[in-house]
Structure 1
Amino acid sequence: MADIIKPDLSVVKQIISSGGESLKKCYQCATCSVVCKLSPDDSPFPRKEMINAQWGLKDKLVSDPDIWLCHQCGDCTAYCPRGAKPGEVIGAIRKMTIGHYAFPEFLATMVGNIKYLPLLIAFPVLFLLAVLGATGHLHIPEGEIVFGHLMPHTIIDAVFVPVFMFAAIVFAGGVLRFWKNIHGQCNGKCSFASIIPALISVKLEILAHNRFRKCEVNKGRAIAHMGVLYGFIGLAITTALAVFYLYILDRHSPYPLNSPLKIIGNISAIALLVGITLMVINRFKVKAQAGIGSYFDWLFIWVIYTVVLSGILSEVTRLLGIAMIAYPIYFLHLVSVFFLFFYAPYSKLAHMVYRTIAMVYARKAGRD
């Protein structure tokens, strides 16, 4: 007896409202799957994802690793004869999937909806203000500008280590649920022992950005994304060095500009700023062919801008000795870093994690 498939209109509406408003224009010609250079020959994407989205088949969509193998090059959107913008639809499906695997799910709903943005910003602002007030630091320190005088490293650690741990736990829970859903599609090829070599291979591929280089319409995405990726990596190294300087060498900030920590940190910040700016330029350059992106995409971009610009400006104003500007900008920097990591499992940043897992699956299942 054939299975009866019932469309879920609530899922369809969710996808449409999340940036996939062109979904209903698709008439299943499969041009998108033909022109996509990343799509495998066996059960190619994104045509099947467009079908499932039009029917609102959420279970199929959230357990589909192919939505993460799509790198949103825009080639499918550029060649679609109906203007259905498959790349934008897949982006909306990814947003829904992030929310599905995240916990608590209401935070994903809030991150994905602009009307909640003031509340999302207010939480880290009020929380950090409360911390400063409770510890007697709710004022502009006098004398030499030392950001540790506003918020000592002990308080920084007490606040941000739990934030990072919270994000890591939410990510871990989401990844385990996602892997459980896709593991059955591996046909016994995804044993734990075999995953490690695949993960290493995938990480090397991500560092080289080989898949982005296959894009035709938006070739500049590879350079832009590499700037963002290596900027993040460099800033992670900077953070590790700061911990080493502070707790091993017992050397406190501010550090001279010629120290390895400052050199790596400043170069990484510039790489991140250049990368995210190129990303914005590319979006506007190919918006007619590939779409300009949703609020979900742009929120991530503006958070990165706030993090990097507030970091750079806090250093510049500190060097210029303008305390009344330096400390508020540094506070803004702390707020933006808190925002970035606390909401990471619910934001566009989560695609870095889920895409990696999907690429590992694809490598083991022979779909790459």
Structure 2
Amino acid sequence: MSTRVNTDLKKEMKLFGLDEWNECFNCGNCTAICSLTEKGILFPRKEIRAIQMGLKNKLSSSVEPWLCYYCGECSETCPRDANPGELMMVVRRYLTKIYDWTGLAGLFYSSKLALFIGFLLVLIAVIAVGYVKGFETEALMEFGHLFEQYVI
């Protein structure tokens, strides 16, 4: 079975926030501290290695980036400050762009102008709905109660 190496993968990942991809020298501290690491799975080193080697197919077929909840322990223990936790965030942004059929996620992640315009459109829509429905106190309180479960 042949493996296709994508030499532009690092350039593509830079659009989503990848700064220093080559800081990692595979010491294994991130894998040792990660609670998601199981026997035989080298998480997050496997994803870091896939980026370093340009293995786009291997990276896009992996489920591990979605399991990471960015606790930050891997980044704290990294002796080279490679920040593997942030790297997992970059991988998720990249994968979201790949699998988003609308193309909006990739646009919002890679362009600050598009993100700003999207934010303005949402703000205008919220104000328009509020204006049409009226800014009634009862309606706002009912909407606010939807978020009570998140208050600590």
Rounded to whole Å, the distance in 2 between the matches of 1:256 and 1:54 is: 52
Conserved? CA contact 1:22–1:89, under 8 Å = no
C-alpha displacement of 1:265: 0.8
Pairwise CA RMSD:
3.3
| 1:88 equivalent among 78, 86, 90 | 86
Say which SS state the counterpart of residue 111 (structure 1) adopts. Answer: helix
Q: 1:125 Cα shift?
A: 5.3
Displacement of 1:262 in angstroms is 4.5
Structure 2 vs 1, CA of residues 35 and 54 (structure 1 numbering), >3 Å: closer, same or farther?
same
Q: Does the CA-based 8 Å contact 1:32-1:79 persist in structure 2?
A: yes
Question: Matched residues in 1 for 2:125 and 2:139: separation?
Answer: 31
1:265 and 2:145 matched = yes
Relative contact order: is structure 1 or structure 2 higher (C-alpha 8 Å, sep ≥ 6)? 1
Whole-Å separation in 2 of the counterparts to 1:127 and 1:84: 40
C-alpha separation in 1, matches of 2:89 and 2:10: 14
Q: Report the TM-score when normalising by structure 2.
A: 0.79
Which residue does the alignment assign to 1:45? 43
**Within the alignment, does 1:255 sit opposite 2:99 as a pair?**
no
Where does residue 151 of structure 1 map in the other structure?
A: 132
What is the rounded CA distance, in whole Å, between the counterparts of 1:256 and 1:151 in structure 2? 13
For residues 267 and 72 of structure 1, the distance between their equivalents in structure 2, rounded to whole angstroms, comes to 23
The 2-side partners of 1:73 and 1:38 are apart by: 11
Given that 2:75 and 2:84 are in contact with CA atoms closer than 8 Å, whether structure 1 keeps it comes out as yes
Aligned residue runs from structure 1 range 5-154, under 5 A: 5-6=4-5, 8-105=6-103, 107-112=104-109, 113-124=111-122, 150-152=131-133
CA 1:267–1:127 in structure 2 vs 1: closer, same or farther (change >3 Å)? closer
> Does the aligned pair in 2 maintain the 1:110–1:120 contact within 8 Å?
no
Could you tell me how far apart the structure 1 residues matched to 2:31 and 2:76 are? 12
Q: Is the 8 A contact 2:94 2:106 kept in 1?
A: no
User: Paired residues, what number?
Assistant: 150
- For 1:49 and 1:73, locate their aligned partners in 2 and report how far apart those are by CA, in whole Å: 17
Once the two structures are TM-superposed, the CA of residue 54 in structure 1 deviates from its matched residue by: 1.2
CA separation of 1:11 and 1:267: change in aligned 2, threshold 3 A: closer
* Identical positions, percent: 25
| Residues 113-137 of structure 1 deviation map (CA, whole Å, 9 limit, x = unaligned) | 21222321343456678xx6xxxx9
